[in-house]
Amino acid sequence: MDEPEQEDQTVDSVAGASQEEDVRFVLPEHAAKVTGQDLNTALIEGIKLGKTSFVKWLLDVGANPNAEDRRQAVPGLVHAIVKDHPRIVKHLIRAGVDVNAPDQDGWRPLNHAAECGHLKMVKYLINTGKHNAEG
């Protein structure tokens, strides 16, 4: 007997549905439906969960490295820094993220790295040569 068709899932529900399941394997079958803001929402969720290969894949297929968390008005780079995901930070920088983009309070990624005590991240951000000390 045929299984009933499952409802289409949005990227929000797929990305947040199960932290045990690597959503990178769910999304490619829905890739034709995933564009624009959905792609960026998935990127933010992947950053928050520390899913490095998923984040890299999303950047490779066109997610905006400067995407912000719509719920918290925080750049994805800040989430990666605060949660101490250095490989994700590197992928975002390689994809062209603005390392000087402030959050809603005017804090820049370097401020967050220093506040969290992530000294290697501070050095990395400074050494990228893209950080503007004057903001």
What averages of pLDDT result for each successive group of 10 residues across the chain (135 residues)?
39 43 48 65 94 94 92 91 96 95 90 95 87 55
**What does the alpha-carbon distance between residue 49 and residue 131 come to, in Å, rounded to a whole number?**
25
Q: How many domains does the chain have?
A: 1
Domain assignment present for 57? yes
* Residue 2 falls inside a structural domain: no
Amino acid 2: pLDDT: 40
Query: Would you say residue 79 lies in a domain?
Result: yes
**CATH number of the domain to which 27 belongs:** 1.25.40.20
- Give residue-wise pLDDT tens across range 41-70: 999 999 999 999 999 999 999 999 999 988
Cα 60–chain centre separation = 12
In a domain, 90, yes or no: yes
The parent domain of residue 62 ranges over: 11-127
Q: Looking at the domain assignment, is residue 1 inside a domain?
A: no
Four-CA torsion 117, 98, 52, 84, nearest 10 degrees: 10
